[in-house]
């Protein structure tokens, strides 16, 4: 009788969780739909307005720091007491997402603030040039300029974590490839949230996750790729890092949602890194969507805590 009641209770809890997840996915789809504006500039402005709402949190200090002709900012979390985790010089170099068409330091605050808070590291983010006005390689050139900028400020590569979400994850990988090509010292590690790694848009998850993904669809991906590439080869490793030789890359941590069309971009990247003998780990979050870490839900907080755990246990 006890086993029967336990089984029924588990079934009830499972049903409640599934119903809650469906409502949450519907909400995410609705909110994303409100920002899915055909006018790219209006979309950028809407994202910046949303990001500016975070400026009133008194536990954070945002400091402008502009590399060359870009805007950049540092995010610092004011902890109640000095953390033992903050005894080194490690910082996070953050590449924001947005399909290379939108996004900014402001919009990325929903992630950079979480990273600063839960890893106890200051986070630097920068506004690289966006497509279609500035296609490839503009963003990559700006990422390299921003990297060189923080090096001149005394931050050593071995103390810099390069992180990014979506197109920012793509940019983080392309930047690391560029540093290796130039025989420059590589960062401490990479942290990638739902990275966009293959601009050919040919993975199976584009079809298998199509009806589940509340954020992305293949048409958006194709539009973003076309805007950024502007005729460049889509299989170039500097736009599709999945096709690169990743031998010698620093440790890489990947997070991805189970319900996103870019799932295979992360899974295949993880597999390719292993083939290249790179220390790597991937976490696939059940029922989650593209860059769910931006949203104010418990799973997002848990995900960032997993980032902190990864950083603490680097080889």
Q: Which residues are catalytic?
A: 166, 260
d(CA 273, CA 210): 26
What's the alpha-carbon Rg for the chain, to the nearest Å? Answer: 19
Strands 122-126 and 72-77: antiparallel
Chain-centroid distance, C-alpha 120: 18
CA-nearest of 130, 114, 124 to 151 is 124
Strands 189-193 and 280-285: unpaired
d(CA 262, CA 109): 22
Q: Say whether 64 sits in a helix, a strand or coil.
A: strand
Cα atoms in the 13 Å half-sphere on the side-chain side of 192? 35
Q: Record the tokens describing residue 256, joined without a space.
A: 């991805």
d(CA 10, CA 21): 16
d(CA 216, CA 75): 28
DSSP of 95-152, one letter per residue?
E--STTTS--TTTTHHHHHHHHHHH--EEEEE----TTTS-TTHHHHHHHHHHHHHHH
């Amino acid at each position: 009788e006890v086993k029967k009641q336990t089984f029924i209770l588990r079934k009830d809890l499972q049903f409640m969780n599934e119903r809650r997840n469906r409502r949450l996915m519907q909400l995410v789809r609705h909110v994303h739909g409100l920002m899915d504006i055909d006018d790219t500039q209006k979309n950028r402005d809407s994202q910046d307005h949303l990001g500016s709402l975070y400026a009133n949190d008194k536990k954070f200090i945002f400091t402008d720091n502009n590399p060359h002709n870009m805007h950049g900012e540092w995010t610092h979390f004011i902890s109640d007491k000095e953390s033992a985790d903050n005894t080194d010089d490690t910082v996070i170099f953050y590449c924001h997402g947005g399909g290379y068409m939108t996004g900014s330091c402001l919009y990325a605050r929903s992630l950079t603030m979480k990273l600063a808070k839960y890893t106890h590291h200051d986070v630097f983010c920068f506004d690289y040039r966006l497509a279609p006005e500035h296609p490839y390689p503009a963003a990559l050139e700006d990422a390299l300029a921003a990297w060189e900028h923080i090096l001149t400020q005394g931050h050593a590569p071995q103390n810099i974590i390069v992180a990014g979400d979506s197109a920012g994850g793509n940019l983080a990988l392309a930047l690391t490839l560029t540093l290796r090509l130039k025989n420059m010292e590589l960062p401490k590690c990479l942290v990638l949230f739902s990275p966009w790694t293959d601009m050919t848009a040919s993975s199976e998850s584009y079809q298998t996750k199509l009806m589940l993904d509340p954020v992305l669809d293949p048409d958006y991906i194709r539009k973003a790729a076309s805007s950024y590439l502007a005729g460049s080869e889509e299989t170039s490793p500097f736009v599709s890092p999945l096709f690169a030789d990743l031998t010698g890359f620093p440790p890489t941590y990947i997070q991805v949602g189970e319900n996103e069309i870019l799932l295979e971009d992360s899974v295949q990247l993880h597999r390719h890194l292993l083939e290249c003998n790179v220390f790597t780990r991937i976490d696939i979050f059940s029922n989650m969507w593209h860059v769910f870490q931006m949203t104010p839900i418990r799973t997002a907080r848990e995900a960032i805590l997993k980032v902190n755990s990864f950083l603490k246990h680097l080889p």
